[in-house]
Structure 1
Amino acid sequence: MENALNASVLRQKTTASNIANADTPGYKAQKTVFQHALDEEETKLSARRTSDYHVHFSEHSNGQAYVSESRGTTYNHNGNNVDIDKEMSSMAENQIYYHSLIERMNSQFNSIRTAIGKGR
């Protein structure tokens, strides 16, 4: 639960940074990658690195979220690739996810409180 909350906070910071830099020339949007999603997909892949620019499959094996930069696209004439509509949607989705994690954590704490006789 802690890793999920930390990943959600990192995603919020990354999205906020993208939104803040939507008009910055040459800025490349960043994306928070949740490791558990990569781990699930990695088990389905048989891959090998053919370039030093490729991501190492075991590089982020600590179960944490990390930030990657999207360089393959350009939405604006100034080299910026931030899609503001996508970023706003991502932020709203992340806020819902974060609040659901908080609710789940509060529920677990209340269960523990009840189990030790200090519940409501």
Structure 2
Amino acid sequence: MNFFSGTIHSLEQAVNRTALQQKMISHNIANTDTPGYKAKGISFKEALDSEQTKFEAIRTDARHLSFGRGHEAYNVIQKTGSAYQANGNNVDIDKEMSELAENQIYYNAVIERLGSKFNSLKTVIKGGNG
């Protein structure tokens, strides 16, 4: 059962990440023509690096999972230092649309995998009788 719960938790975190990414991309697209608007995105790496420096863990067996697994943290960042329009707006609509499509494909894959895990769990609960 631990296999299922760990995998399902990881997939849940992936769904949360894609939902936040979708929100940021949609917000950027909605503000394409807003003067002075700076595009936003999410950054996971900086939050992870920051948190990992605070903890130390010792794995006593190679089969143990890495420390900190499942602690997802995202920072909303503002993309500065560029302006694609004369009004100071830096939303690149082509880039945002590309990221939107990529995020949607990733989301669909994660949801499909999550559904598969729940179907497997349902089969186990029913005793393999489908």
Segments of 5+ residues of structure 2 without an aligned counterpart are 1-10, 55-70
After TM superposition, where is structure 1 displaced by more than 2 Å over at least 4 residues in a row? none
Segments of 5+ residues of structure 1 without an aligned counterpart are 43-56
Percent pairwise identity = 48
1:83 to 89, 92, 110: 92
Matched residue, 2:78: 69
Mapped contact 2:32–2:93 kept (Cα < 8 A):
yes
Q: Deviations over 1:65-100 (max 9, x none)?
A: 231100111111100000000000000000001111
User: TM-score if structure 1 supplies the norm length?
Assistant: 0.75
Shift of 1:58: 3.6
How many residues are paired up? 102
Q: Deviations over 1:6-32 (max 9, x none)?
A: 110010010000000000000000012
1:30 to 10, 19, 40: 40
Matched residue, 1:52: none
Higher helix share: 2
The code of the aligned residue for 1:10 comes to L
Q: Which has the larger radius of gyration?
A: 2
